[in-house]
Structure 1
Amino acid sequence: MDRYQRKGPTMKTPAYPATLGIMLLSLTLPATFLLTTLLTTTDAHSATWRETKCTLYQDNRDETRADMPANATSNAFNEQEDAFIASGCTERIYVCPHSKAELAYANLMSIKMMNAGATGSFLPFVCEGGLQTDQPTQ
C-alpha cells in the first residue's frame, strides 16, 4: 500500500470556526488599538495646533505692529485683540476694525495667518453687526 493511501474513510473536521475566530480577533484588536490611538492623538494634536496657531498669531502681531505707527489702532481694538490672545486664542472675541488702519492691519494679519495654515474661522476680526468703518475703505 502506498504511504499516501489510507485505509477506510476519514472524516476531517473543518477548522473554519476556530480559524475564522482567530482571524477576526487578529483583525479587531489592532483596529481597536489603532482607533483608540488615533482618537487620543487627534485630541492632543488639536490642542497643540491651537496653541501653535496662537503663538503664530502673537508672533505675526508683534512683527506687524512693529512696522505700524504707535497710535494706528484704537484702544478698544487693542483691548479686544489682547482679550483674544489672553484667552489662548480660543474664545470668540470680536475684534472689529473701525478705521482704515485697523482694516489694513486685520487684512494683513488674515493673510499672514492663512499663509501659516490657520483658517479664517480662527481669526478674531469680526464685527457683530457687520463691518462698519468710520472712514471710507477705498
Structure 2
Amino acid sequence: MRRLGVLLVLVAPVAPSAPAADPDDWSLSKCALYRDAWDWAVSTLDGPAPSDGFVAATEAFVASDCTARVAVCPVTDADFSLANMLTVMTMSEGMASTFVPFSCRDS
C-alpha cells in the first residue's frame, strides 16, 4: 500500500488534465486562430443556438489559451454543426483535427 502512495505522489504532478506550462508560439497561434474561428462562428449563427454546456466548455477551453483538457461534448444538432464547422475551419488553417476540444467523457 505504501508503494501505491509513493507512486501516486510521483504520477500526480504529470496528470493529463494539467495544462501546458509554457505554450510555444505555434500553440499560441493555433489558439488565436481557434478563438477567431469561434467568435466568427458564434456571431454568424443562423438557426438554433448551441447548448449552454457546449458554449461554456468551449469558452473555458479558449480562456485557458487552449491548453486545458476540457471535454466539449456536442449534444444537440446545433452543437454538432458548430463542432463540425470549427473542425474544418481549424484544419483549413493547418491544425490537426486533434487540436479541437470535442469529446464526450463518461462521468
Report the TM-score when normalising by structure 2: 0.73
Cα deviations by residue, 1:61-111 (Å, 9 ceiling, x for unpaired): 111111114861111111100110111101110100001111010001000
2:37 partner letter: N
Report the TM-score when normalising by structure 1: 0.57
3-state SS of 2:24 partner: helix
Q: Distance in 2 between matches of 1:78 and 1:128?
A: 17
Matched residue, 2:30: 53
3-state SS of 1:121 partner: coil
**Radius of gyration: which is bigger?**
1
Matched residue, 1:19: none
Question: Unpaired segments of 5 or more residues in structure 2?
Answer: 1-21
Q: Distance in 2 between matches of 1:99 and 1:92?
A: 21
Matched residue, 2:77: 100
CA RMSD, Structure 1 to Structure 2 (Å): 1.8
Total equivalences in the alignment: 85
Q: Distance in 2 between matches of 1:94 and 1:70?
A: 24
Is 2:62 aligned against 1:85?
Answer: yes
Matched residue, 2:49: 72
3-state SS of 1:94 partner: coil
Q: Distance in 2 between matches of 1:79 and 1:97?
A: 12
Question: Unpaired segments of 5 or more residues in structure 1?
Answer: 1-43, 130-138
Identity among equivalent positions (%) equals 34
